[in-house]
Amino acid sequence: MNRGDLSFGLLGPLAVRSTTHGQLHIRSPKHRILLAALLLAPGQAVPVANLAEAVWGTRPPANARRALQLHVLRVRALFMEAGLAPVIARDAGGYRIDIDANAVDAWSITRLVDEADAAARRTDPQNELAALSRALDLWRGEPLCDVPSDLLHGRYVPVLDEQQLRIVERYHDVGLQLGRFDETAESALRHLARYPLAEPLWHQLITALHSSGRRADALQAYHQARQQLAADLGVGPGRALQRLYASVLSGHSATADLAGPPDVPRQLPNAIAGFVGRSPELRQLEALIDRSDRQPAVAALTGMGGIGKTALAAHFARRAADAFPDGQLWIDLRGYDARPALTPTQALTILLRSLGEQSSQMPTDLDGLTERYRSVMADRRALIVLDNARDAGQVRALLPGGSPSLLLITSRHMLSDVVVRARGQALRLEPLDRQEARALLTARLGADRVDGEPEAVNGIVDVCGGLPLALAIVAAHGVACPTAPLADLPRQLQAADADLDRFSSTDVRADVRTVLSWSYQALGPQAAQLFRLLGLHPSPAIREAAAAGLVEAGPAGVRPLLDELVAEHLIAEPQPGSFVMNRLVHAYAVELARAFDSARRRVLARYGLLDRLARHGRASLAPDDGRRWSVWE
């Protein structure tokens, strides 16, 4: 059985094709999810936990590992029954699909874009256009359209859509350069049906129509664009489209140089309703405004998921916007997200486009993009927010050089390298104190309701552990039931015990379990296991010696794992050797231990913990920990 004759399609319905055996139909939705998840990382091991989340979401079956193994066996059997190579193989901690990346349409696009880049460097627009055309031909519809996985759709489809849009825009630019106006107009119309709010496509359509002598059609297209933008976004066309419209009206060539002063980017999100607290952090950030007038200033907001980093960044940025007349840029780096993290190259491309640079004129390599970015920013005074950064490697190239600007970064990861290199300031956000948490609930529920049930409010604050995201979710439940006593909420939350269902939301970014899962997925296998087994401890507080018992490791072996959990803000170390989890993070660890660690492994961890207690005494567990045990079944 030959792997070489297999090809796979993700840019449309899932497709499995063989040059000798034809197409293999995968009828089970879960089998399609499993295969798609592996094809999105060809040749790489995908952890069992990641595959389980793709297949079952945040509610896997009791023995997810065994259930997943059965699905893998069935998919392998389908391939073998069709005379195809069983391409799925076991790998450390998961599974991989043993194929070349170029056998998958979503990955072969990279090779075709590389061919287009090489042709552009040779000043060969004909072959550049041909390579881009072959790349666009790979799309057969909505990516993953028959793969029913919220995780895969949220993580990959937006990236694939953005990739297609960039290739389409470049294809049209080259077509206009070659004078292929009719072909460009036809292609632009076709792709506007999918991307009706993409102003560059409208610009290219109007240019192509006017350049081919269809002035009336060009004017009509402009009015269609204006109506579409007004209806869907409540805004009018940007300056570039307005200048093109004026050029068409005056009869000037649409392909002439119409460059004018670029729009000043103003990309800050809406004001945060009911923002409370964080006064010390706001004072420190405001002190950086004056400093950035003389030299670049950098600040990093770090802390666990749901702690309010993005809310603080948005609140501060709106207050400080007037101090940065050359623009306010905001980019979500997706470091902890259902979607893949942006690469530095992707982030720089987005920033440069926001600053008025044309995609077709940008360098394609990281060094070239970094140099262009710092040149463009050199004399600008701007506020740049890099939200949700994965690590220092993702943001290092995005530092704006010597620009008199302020760069604000939010991340769950400690960005010590970037802060030290830029002589910046690191601000770690802690959970809200009782007064701040009460103020947040008052802003959402009203003072009368909060003041009328002080004990219930204290109970809500205790259960939520000062986590702003959890408080906001609970407040939303209270708003939805305006006549129900607030005392019902802490009773329901406490009854849920280690279940996070009470903190769920249809918006994945506001779902506590999902938000925490992005930090968990960033861990290495050993640190991930330790995190799960910490759920076996009777409380969210534990000492280093007890943690070593959970994973059968000495202090030297467990310390790097604890440091990794601290770096991801899943635990904190308030005193040397003593660690604590937020209450809801501990509940999440409990859920993971039940889902992914066998009963035998939990029993071994329990005996390891008891052994530490017997040998080192109660002090090896945690201070003030006379509480119940959890997850002993």
Are 301 and 406 in contact by the 8 Å Cβ rule? The answer is: no
How many Å apart are CA 563 and CA 414, to the nearest integer? 11
Mean per-residue pLDDT, 444-465 = 83
Query: So what's the pLDDT on residue 70?
Result: 93
> Which among 513, 487, 515 is positioned nearest to 502, based on CA atoms?
513
> Which among 142, 147, 150 is positioned nearest to 30, based on CA atoms?
147
How many Å apart are CA 321 and CA 378, to the nearest integer? 19
One DSSP character per residue, 80-96 reads HHTT----EEEETTEEE
How many Å apart are CA 621 and CA 629, to the nearest integer? 12
How many Å apart are CA 487 and CA 395, to the nearest integer? 45
Q: In terms of pTM, does the model score above 0.85?
A: no
Query: So what's the pLDDT on residue 301?
Result: 93
What average pLDDT is seen over the chain? 83
Choice between 581 and 507, residue whose per-residue pLDDT is larger? 581
Is 559's pLDDT higher than 80? yes
How many Å apart are CA 203 and CA 218, to the nearest integer? 10
Lowest mean pLDDT among 86-95, 135-144, 185-194, 367-376: 86-95
How many Å apart are CA 505 and CA 238, to the nearest integer? 35
Is 85's pLDDT higher than 60? yes
Confidence class of residue 569 from pLDDT cuts 50, 70 and 90? confident
Are 486 and 456 in contact by the 8 Å Cβ rule? The answer is: yes
Mean per-residue pLDDT, 409-428 = 86
Confidence class of residue 260 from pLDDT cuts 50, 70 and 90? very low
Query: So what's the pLDDT on residue 622?
Result: 47
Q: Percent of the chain having pLDDT more than 90? A: 27
Residues 6+ apart with CB under 8 A from 246: none
| Fold agreement between 1-178 and 513-620 | yes
Choice between 479 and 309, residue whose per-residue pLDDT is larger? 309
Residues 6+ apart with CB under 8 A from 384: 328, 329, 331, 351, 398, 400, 405, 406, 407, 408
User: 3-class SS at 98?
Assistant: coil
CATH code that applies to domain 279-428 = 3.40.50.300
Q: What is the dihedral of CA 31, 56, 532, 572, to 10 degrees?
A: 120
Q: Where are the domains of the chain?
A: 1-178, 279-428, 434-496, 513-620
Number of Cβ within a 10 Å radius of residue 215: 16
Q: Which two tokens stand for residue 305?
A: 């998921």
H-type alpha helices, 267-341: 279-292, 309-320
Q: What is the pLDDT of residues 111-122, one digit of tens each?
A: 898 898 888 878
> Which among 521, 582, 569, 529 is positioned nearest to 553, based on CA atoms?
529
One DSSP character per residue, 569-616 reads TSSEEEETTEEE--HHHHHHHHHHHHHHS-HHHHHHHHHHHHHHHHHH
Is 584's pLDDT higher than 70? yes
Are 366 and 344 in contact by the 8 Å Cβ rule? The answer is: yes
Query: So what's the pLDDT on residue 628?
Result: 38
Are 622 and 539 in contact by the 8 Å Cβ rule? The answer is: yes
How many Å apart are CA 243 and CA 237, to the nearest integer? 10
Query: So what's the pLDDT on residue 126?
Result: 93
Lowest mean pLDDT among 147-151, 161-165, 629-633: 629-633
Mean per-residue pLDDT, 386-399 = 90
CATH code that applies to domain 513-620 = 1.10.10
Confidence class of residue 479 from pLDDT cuts 50, 70 and 90? confident
- Scan for tokens 């072996």, then name that residue: 557
Query: So what's the pLDDT on residue 132?
Result: 94
1-178 CATH, one of 3.40.91.50, 1.10.287.620, 3.60.110.10, 1.10.10.10: 1.10.10.10
> Which among 595, 599, 608 is positioned nearest to 59, based on CA atoms?
595
How many Å apart are CA 9 and CA 632, to the nearest integer? 45
Mean per-residue pLDDT, 530-550 = 81
Choice between 387 and 44, residue whose per-residue pLDDT is larger? 387
Tell whether the torsion through CA atoms of 188, 155, 334 and 560 is positive or negative: negative
The strand pair at 88-91 and 94-97 is best described as: antiparallel
Confidence class of residue 21 from pLDDT cuts 50, 70 and 90? confident
Write b or e for each residue in 2-18: b if 16 or more Cβ atoms lie within 10 A of its Cβ, otherwise e.
Answer: eeeebbbbbbbbbbbeb
Confidence class of residue 76 from pLDDT cuts 50, 70 and 90? very high
Query: So what's the pLDDT on residue 47?
Result: 86
Give backbone dihedrals phi and psi of 385, rounded to 5 degrees, phi first. Answer: -110, 120
